[in-house]
Structure 1
Amino acid sequence: MPRPAGLGSLLDVALDDTLPEPLFRQLYNELRQAILTGRLHPGDRLPASRSLAQELGISRNTVLGAFEQLLSEGYLEMRGGSGTYVAGNLPDLTPERAAPRGSAAAAPELAARSAILFAPRRRGMAASHALAPCFAPGFIDSSSFPFPLWSRLLAKSWRQPPRQIVDGGDPGGYPPLRAAIADYLRQARGIECSGDDVLIVSGIRQAVDLTCRLLLDPGDKVWVERPGFPGIGAAIAASGGKLVHVTVDNEGLDVAEGLRQAPKARLACVAPSHQYPLGVVMSLQRRLSLLAWARAAKAWVLEDDYDSEFRYAGRPLAALRSLDEDGRVIYVGTLSKLLFPSLRVGYLVAPPSLAAAFRSARAVVDDQPAMATQPALAAFFTSGHLAAHVRRMRKLYARRQQLLLAAADRHFGDKIALQPDDAGLHLVGQLADPALARLGDTRVAEKIAAAGVTVSPLSAYDAGEDGGRRVRQGLMFGYAAVPEAKFQPGARAIAAALKL
């Protein structure tokens, strides 16, 4: 039965306008927590926004902002002419938990093979990047980075460097940078963590490798997205994990399919905020089901949040890690895609119970992360330059997506169908023309390459175990690194190559 109004007093909602966090965000957090802890049940009716605003002594726009975010993330639903309700299709949200968020009471379940990670240290090497041809996915516009500012920050940090920078020695990375990343994630992604939980790595693949070394024994099963980013699967396989390819549909990773294939898997690797390559956002129901599985199976979830900054419509969705009450989610991100590729800096946010083990593992893999750029990066974060750069790039990439859509509409007609995306750096074009569909996306991409333009066949990202069956057909069009004058000529060359 719907509950009566008076929700503020019923749930003991406490808002404080002296805090730096906006009031709409405080209300959003209070209501979300009430839903997750069972104080609000599926199907409960919320009071009208005007009534709740009056009861809490805040503006109606503040209440509407919180409701809008909860609606977009699937916690609430609108029923025409009736009002706003807690979503009725949420799974059971009130299971008993062995320990609260961040609790270190229970010993973490380390893999037996992780003992080797406490052996003498050794060093690693970084990877390199190639230049991006027209429409190749996976590239950013590095030319827009403020390199004059960056050079000044580098020079300042090394003019009279303290002993801590020269000698290094902390396997987790430069402490001020780790603290700055923790502050950034709290503000931008809703993740409660400290600098002690943050580990500086060379990129997402190193984060995956460290996770596998620490938590997997050879032969342990790992859920990976299908289709998905090949680099993650390769890193898992190289560490001895057994890949279990789980289909991604329009709600993200199909948790029910994962349970059918490997209910006792040790790890699941997902990109819930913007899946690569499909661009799907994992639904709230799937997120909660994934966390429930991890809790019951004593498994781990690795959240790949590779491009969450580049969202062009609405507020960024909360990270999966922000829902984790059991310390089961390992969150990884990259600064190389945000700033410039050769930076080769990423970060891993470990559950508090695993943070010390991850630092020890990091020290074994390559002694310590390179210190040359970390002080400048810390200053880039804390001075506000990062936020300004993200705003600039978000506008730039949003405009380039529109240029790609306009060029496709003009030159492809209805033969290759591209739809706008609220986030990301590429779009997926569907082969709507029957002749192109029969030809297959790999052959179509080869014809386009012969015309001097690069796109990626979507089928190349399906690495299933059933004899090469491809679950998706389409073409991936990167737009972030394409000069604006190249969109129309590039699309024209594709149309000519395919005789569209």
Structure 2
Amino acid sequence: MARRSRGLPVPLLDGFDASGRSGDGASLLARLHARLRKAILDGALMPGGALPASRRLAEDAGLSRNTVEAVYDQLEAEGFIERRHGSGSFVSVDLPERELAPAYAPRAGSARPATTGLSKRGELMAQPYGGEGPLAGRAFLPSVPALDLFPRQLWARLLARAARAPGPDHLGAGDRAGFRPLREAIAAYVGSTRAVACQPDQVVVLTSSQQAIDLACRLLTDPGDTVWHEEPGYRAAAAAFVASGAQVVPVPVDGEGIDVAAGIRLAPDARLVYVSPSHQFPTGVAMSLSRRLQLLAWAARTGAFIIEDDYDSEFRYVGRPLAALQGLDEAGRVVYVGTFNKLMFPGLRLAYLVAPPELAERFVAARVLMDGHTSTLPQAALADFIGEGHLGTHLRHMRTVYEERRQALVDAVAGLAGRLTLGPTDGGMHACAYLPAGADDVAIAAAARRLGIELRPLSTSFRGPARPGFIMGFAAARPAEIRGAVDRLARLLEN
């Protein structure tokens, strides 16, 4: 038989389980509080009505009196009940929330579309672009580092050291542009490894490349402006441009990178260009010097800006590392974007942009409107990680590891001649693999996932007519896992 409180006018405790088990994991205190609060808002417990004594309700509900007292105290603090010394507990007479309750309790089947009431920009921002879900530890997830090889104990020590630092520097509101020692370390790092010409005041520390791309687009374009985007290209960047109200123009990529002449023909008045010149995503090609100079000359002549996404160019396996496009820019048209989330681990959430000198303060001011500043403790740890040489050591180790894994992928796919062909593999953390014309890469990727293989369909990186294939990350998978996954993929392709 259901329990009923002798002090309540309704069977409020019907179905209440005081054993501590709950399907939603809520505590006894939270569940009883929710019961009473809902009864008050629904009118089942009328304003001014008396509530049972805490001892009686505890007996009837099978709870401790302390639990009931805690619930009553919380309801009193929230204004739902009044507790009068010597008289008992009563439902508050003045309940303004009661009139609002129906608005928060729609009837079953009456839910409205999720986009109801959004602004035009909100509608654009809420459009799904097909981004990847939670990361799984299996081949061939692109842009995922070898997390098991990251020096976790060293990182933990650096974090602990930052937390123990005397004074409020790491605990108070941080520098809006980013922790100054980290910005100095980044400026020195990109100057020596990527030939980026910058001062620490040009560096803005952010959480991700995506945030940097979004910030640059907001600052440098108005709704309706035209943006060149590589075709095929990075979908998340295109989604950010669309969300800002820009008109995205796909510009084809060939063996020398983005076709600047084609871009000029398609949209000569473009306001912004997005490129990944050192390791184009997803094809892996590097932009030739002639194309780089052509793009910079056009941007200087027209006043357009260029976002250079340098997301994984630290990993180069053939020839010398390629210098950044930004280092060739004499007109201040390039916004350089880099990230540590791919170099170290995705959960770090630390990236940066290098703004043109005359725009650095503007970028900082706009960044403050987004979320104030980036958490200082991990910035302090990262500054030490770079300054003490640990980043350089880690990257050298990863370069050796990733080159072995890249070669394992190249050798394994070589046995699939005619069914799967790799594009350039000179650098980066992934390779682009092409299927024969007419193949359905989306369907094959879905079938591969059921076999424990993660493949990103290449066709989804096109905005126009697509070429089928896959984006195959090799950095996170061991050589044996790569070979086994390719063997399973080969059997799948045979069918």
Quick check: TM above 0.5? yes
* Contact kept? 1:129, 1:341, Cα under 8 Å: no
Question: Which residue type is aligned with residue 457 of structure 2?
Answer: P
Establish whether residue 407 from structure 1 lines up as the match of residue 412 from structure 2: yes
Tell me: CA distance 1:225–1:442, structure 2 relative to 1, closer, same or farther (3 Å): same
Alignment of 1:162-311 (within 5 A): 162-311=167-316
Consecutive aligned runs of 4 or more in structure 1 exceeding 4 Å deviation: none
**Matched residue, 2:392:** 387
Summarize the Cα distance change of 1:498–1:370 in structure 2 as closer, same or farther, 3 Å threshold.
same
CA distance in 2, matches of 1:163, 1:210: 29
> Equivalent residues in 2 for 1:83-482 (5 A)?
129-410=134-415, 412-418=416-422, 421-432=425-436, 437-464=437-464, 469-470=465-466, 472-482=467-477
Question: Who is 1:111 aligned against?
Answer: none
Letter in 1 for 2:389: G
Deviation of 1:414 after TM superposition, in Å, equals 3.9
Q: Is the 8 A contact 1:133 1:453 kept in 2?
A: yes
Match of 1:483 in 2: 478
- Tell me if structure 1 keeps the 8 A contact 2:284–2:424: no
CA-CA distance at 1:490 after TM superposition:
1.0
1:46 aligns to what?
none
- Name the aligned partner's letter for residue 426 of structure 2: D
Tell me the amino acid that sits aligned with residue 481 of structure 2.
Answer: K
SS at match of 2:481: helix
Measured in 2, the distance between the counterparts of 1:281 and 1:384 equals: 28
Please provide the CA RMSD for this pair. Answer: 1.7
What is the aligned-residue identity percentage? 46
Q: Secondary structure at the match of 1:485?
A: helix
TM-score (norm 2): 0.71
For the residue of structure 2 that corresponds to 1:372, the secondary structure is: helix
Q: Secondary structure at the match of 2:169?
A: helix
In structure 2, runs of 5+ residues without a counterpart are: 1-131
2:242 and 2:423 mapped to 1: Cα distance? 34
Question: For each residue in 1:257-291, what CA deviation from the matched residue of structure 2 results, as whole angstroms up to 9, or x when unmatched?
Answer: 11111111111010011100000111111111111
Superposed CA deviations along residues 169-223 of structure 1, whole A, max 9, x for unmatched, are 3110100000000000110011121110000011111001111111111111111
Alpha-carbon offset, residue 362 of structure 1: 0.7
Cross-structure match for 2:96: none
CA contact (8 A) 1:405 1:420 kept: no
Match of 1:493 in 2: 488
Deviations along 1:320-368, one digit per CA (max 9) or x if unpaired, are 0000001110000100000000001100000110000001011111011
Q: Secondary structure at the match of 1:164?
A: coil
1:215 and 1:427 map into 2 onto residues whose CA distance is 32
Q: How many equivalent residue pairs?
A: 364
Render the CA deviation track for 1:370-396: whole Å, top value 9, x for unaligned.
Answer: 112010000001001010000000000
- Which AA in structure 2 matches 1:438? G
- What is the deviation of 1:139? 1.6
Say whether the 8 Å CA contact 1:273–1:319 is kept in structure 2.
yes
Q: Is the 8 A contact 2:284 2:423 kept in 1?
A: no
Per-residue CA deviation, residues 64-92 of structure 1 (Å, 9 max, x unaligned), is xxxxxxxxxxxxxxxxxxxxxxxxxxxxx
Counterpart contact for 1:250–1:280, Cα < 8 Å:
yes
| TM-score between the two structures when normalised by the length of structure 1 | 0.70
Work out the CA distance in 2 between the residues paired with 1:269 and 1:314: 25
Any idea what SS the aligned residue of 1:171 has? coil
| Contact residue 401 and residue 420 of structure 1 kept, 8 A | no
Q: Unmatched 5+ residue regions in structure 1? A: 1-126
